[in-house]
Amino acid sequence: MSGEMSMIGSVILALFLAGYLGQQYLPPPKPKVIGLDLGTTFCSVGVFHPGIGDVEVIGDDKGRKSIPSVVSFTLTEVLAGHEAQELADISQQNTIYDAKRFIGKIFEPDALMQESARYPFRVINNNSRAEFLITTNHTFSVSPEFIGSRLLLKMKKMAEKQLGVPIQKAVISVPAEFDEGQRSYTIKAANLAGLEILRVINEPTAAAMAYGLHKVDVSNVLVVDLGGGTLDVSLLSKQGGMFLTRAMAGNNKLGGQDFSQRLLQYTMEQVREQFGVEATLKEDIHHLRQTVEEAKLNLTLQPSASIRVPLRLQVPGAARGSVPKPVVFRSVITREVFEDLNQDLFQKILAPIKTVLAEGHLEKEEVDEIVLVGGSTRIPRIRSLITDYFGKEPNTSVDPDLAVVTGVAIQAGIMGGSWPLQVSAIEIPNRHLRKTNFS
């Protein structure tokens, strides 16, 4: 009897041990919560892998880790991301971008008219909220949150494809300045895409988390986010292990597009000097713009960029309607030229930095870490400007285009319970803060 008992006991023990040991060889659980960065110009999705303890930013079928925040309507379908971007030139009126600027916002009628004048598509007023007017076979209007939902749906599908499991839950980031309305309409966009939002976190906090600053002993973190069209500066302080936004400032008319525009004006002037006429054909200007954009990116890594653009110029004195003359424009642009052309614009970055320090009652020496976000912070002159001002190097090891999504994915990992960390909250909401805007 006692022999049987001990045998049963041994079997149970053996099963228990096998289960315990086996568990270590099981594949780690799949992430169930995704992290979403729904940006004004680009968006990305990431997950935290508990097994390897690392963030994966998910690529599309071509491996691209950011998709343009563009949605285009055709007769038969609604496209999002790169497919929509490709239609931006041929179907301008039905291709919507920058929807984030409108989401959840109440507009004065005049302000909405001014905004819509900046876009090739039609923005209409519906009870002080913006909607976009689309005309395919029939005319209809769509809301900014609907546009957001199509981008989020695209990213949800990318994640499902990569992970091989259905996804229903997410964490999403928003600008620190978003009010309750903008936050709730962002959540609405996610709900429309079939996603439940477990938490909304501020973009600067996410960027700080991408550098692990929630785990280390720092007090004050300055986040500089310089994107295609806007500059956002936030001063964060850690209190009891959580981030509090102390001050924010920015310039909503300063970004990479402005630096490219200066370079474009310069090359157009060179064309005029070399050939005695201006480039006027739409496709020539488009081609010049693309090349200049590429040169700008190359100048981050190289001291100079050679450009070569075939153009067709309308020779002066030639008869009206005569065939334009094909020429090839060549030039070498050095980094110095690029920096000189943008000297005054680069300097504008310091104003909001000084403002957040003043409003947050901090000396620049009291800033422990500086985090750079947004593609334009790759520009060497901008990095050195910030380094010189603070007398210390900013944190740049994370790709500035992916810093926000990386932090959101870490937060998603925490929410999914797959994070060996005690904290659950990362942020203290600060509802009374106002953003100072220069521009």
Ligand X SMILES: *[C@@H]1O[C@H](CO)[C@@H](O)[C@H](O)[C@H]1NC(C)=O
CB closer to ligand X out of 141 and 436: 141
Look up 37 and say whether it is catalytic: yes
Q: Shortest distance, CB of residue 341 to ligand X, whole angstroms?
A: 16
Written as one string, the DSSP assignment of 349-384 is: THHHHHHHHHHTT--GGG--EEEEESGGGGSHHHHH
Distance CA 92, CA 16 (A): 64
Token readout for 46 is 């990431």
Q: What's the token pair of residue 184?
A: 């709730």
Give CA–CA dist 323/247, Å, rounded: 58
Pick between residue 91 and residue 141 the one whose CB is nearest to ligand X.
141
d(CA 121, CA 15) in angstroms, rounded, equals 66
b/e code 133-154 from CB counts within 10 Å (16+ = b): bbeeeeeeebbbbbbbbbbbbb
Question: Quick check: is 225 catalytic?
Answer: yes
DSSP strands (E only) in 62-215: 67-68, 70-73, 78-80, 95-97, 122-126, 129-135, 139-142, 169-174, 196-202
Query: Min. distance of Cβ 97 from ligand X in angstroms?
Result: 20
Task: List Cα–Cα distances, 428 to 2, 244, 246, in angstroms.
Answer: 61, 5, 10
Q: Which of 358, 352, 349, 362 is nearest to 388 (CA)?
A: 349
Tell me the C-alpha distance between 363 and 390, whole Å: 10
Residue 246 vs 383, nearer CB to ligand X: 383
Smallest distance, Å, CB 19 to ligand X? Answer: 37
User: 3-state SS string over 209-268?
Assistant: HHCCCCCCCCCEEEEEEECCCCEEEEEEEEECCEEEEEEEEEECCCCHHHHHHHHHHHHH
Smallest gap from residue 9 Cβ to ligand X (A): 50
* Closer CB to ligand X, 158 or 426, in the complex: 426
As measured in angstroms, the least distance from the Cβ of 404 to ligand X is: 16
Q: How far is the CB of 144 from ligand X (least distance, A)?
A: 11
> What size, in residues, is the chain?
439
Active site residue 388: no
Q: Which of 32, 65, 100, 435 is catalytic?
A: 100
Distance CA 258, CA 261 (A): 5
Cβ count near 118 (within 10 Å): 9
Annotated catalytic residue within 98, 203, 232, 284:
203
Annotation marks residue 217 as catalytic? no
Residues in Cβ contact with 25 at an 8 Å cutoff, skipping those fewer than 6 apart: none
Of 369 and 401, which has the nearer Cβ to ligand X?
Answer: 369
Quote the crossing angle between the two packed helices 180-192 and 144-163, to the nearest 10°.
50
Q: How far is the CB of 261 from ligand X (least distance, A)?
A: 16
Q: Are 156 and 194 in contact (CB under 8 A)?
A: yes
List residues near ligand X by CB under 6 A: 75-76, 126-127, 131, 137, 141, 211-213, 216, 291, 294-295, 298, 305-307, 369, 393, 395
Contact of 356 with 233, CB cutoff 8 Å: yes
Q: Tell me how far apart the alpha carbons of residues 206 and 426 are, in angstroms, rounded to a whole number.
A: 9
In the complex, least distance from residue 212 CB atom to ligand X, rounded to whole angstroms = 4
Rounded CA-CA distance 147/152 in Å is: 9
Q: Specify the residue, 158 or 370, whose C-beta has the smaller distance to ligand X.
A: 370
Q: Which residues are catalytic?
A: 37, 100, 203, 225
